[in-house]
Amino acid sequence: MDNHNSTSDGDDELQHLVVKIVDGEEEEQKPKLRVSELSTVLEPSGLSILSEVSVEILAGSIVGIIGPSGSGKSTFLRALNRMWDPPKHTVFLDNQDIHDLDVLSLRRKIGMLFQVPALFPGTVADNIRYGPKLTGKKLSDDEVTKLLALADLDSSFANKNGNELSVGQAQRVALARTLANDPEVLLLDEPTSALDPISTQAIEDTILKLKKTHKLTTVIVSHSVRQIQRIVDIIYLLVEGKIVEVLRPDRLSEASHPMARKFLELS
């Protein structure tokens, strides 16, 4: 771990900072996710992707992960809901080791959205109903409409086929489909990098709305430093598999790690 900004459990200064940023008050907030000394080594090559990453993600906060290409951002994000299986005792949801949860229910609690939406064959409504159906729940037309509205789509989309949609519309449907599972945490892996500005804004607005209305915890990986500054409460800067800086969005220019400075200058 570099000395710039430690993220270890004992770092009172960081916790203080995070609590203030998220709430605007000095109120104690519980960590929703805790990552403890997460290291990921690829076998058999021995390539190290993540190295002793320790962070706390507070309930109801929006956390941004930025860093150069190949620094391990997606791997970190995927480890949080076992799309990439982390070692045991390294990732905790509400203080419970995620390995102690059934993987499907974990992924319902921790939903994920990728760079390019992949809709299932069928209508938009079929896609949105898919997750709840797996647990025996059939969403009503009204519930589908509400989920569409949450992702800034009107009810006329419900009967459209996935292949009639633009990428931006499909991404909003993918978001509504993820939200249909009523997740507690949303993982977003460069969710708007393939989208036009209007769809990008719709996704950003939805993320901010969900924070207010549902106190949803969100972790977003983005190459857009501006996007990160627009929506997140706290930024983790990942370089070569290590968190090298923890920064407030309005203080990004204060990054001191040389790689971090270079990355920010070039972004």
Task: For residue 97, count other CB atoms closer than 10 A to its CB.
Answer: 15
Q: Applying CB under 6 A, does 69 fall inside the site for ligand ATP? A: yes
CB of 63 to ligand ATP, least distance (A): 15
Q: Applying CB under 6 A, does 75 fall inside the site for ligand ATP? A: yes
Interface pick for ligand ATP out of 70, 87, 122, 258 (rule CB under 6 A): 70
Quick one: which segment of 73-81, 94-102, 149-157, 212-220 binds ligand ATP (CB under 6 A)?
73-81
What are the tokens at 129? 């109903």
CB of 37 to ligand ATP, least distance (A): 18
CB of 2 to ligand ATP, least distance (A): 17
Q: Which is nearer to ligand ATP, 147 or 219 (CB)?
A: 219
Quick one: which segment of 6-14, 66-74, 175-183, 242-250 binds ligand ATP (CB under 6 A)?
66-74
* Rounded (10°) angle between helices 167-179 and 197-214: 10
Which residues have CB under 8 Å from 120's CB, separation 6+?
126, 127, 130, 162
Q: Which is nearer to ligand ATP, 44 or 136 (CB)?
A: 44
Q: Applying CB under 6 A, does 125 fall inside the site for ligand ATP? A: no
CB of 266 to ligand ATP, least distance (A): 13
DSSP class of residue 161 equals: B
Q: Applying CB under 6 A, does 211 fall inside the site for ligand ATP? A: no
CB of 143 to ligand ATP, least distance (A): 34
What whole-number distance in Å separates Cα of residue 36 and Cα of residue 92? 8
Nearest to 14 by CA among 252, 265, 261, 247: 247
Is the distance from CB of 132 to CB of 139 less than 8 angstroms? yes
Helix or strand (DSSP H, E) at 37: strand 31-42
CB of 169 to ligand ATP, least distance (A): 24
Quick one: which segment of 68-76, 128-136, 163-171, 180-188 binds ligand ATP (CB under 6 A)?
68-76
Q: Applying CB under 6 A, does 232 fall inside the site for ligand ATP? A: no
Interface pick for ligand ATP out of 35, 38, 49, 264 (rule CB under 6 A): 49
Q: Is the dihedral of CA 45, 51, 57, 63 positive or negative?
A: negative
What whole-number distance in Å separates Cα of residue 66 and Cα of residue 137? 37
Helix or strand (DSSP H, E) at 41: strand 31-42
Measure CA 172 to chain center. Answer: 15
Give the residues lining the site for ligand ATP (CB under 6 A).
Answer: 42, 49, 67, 69-75
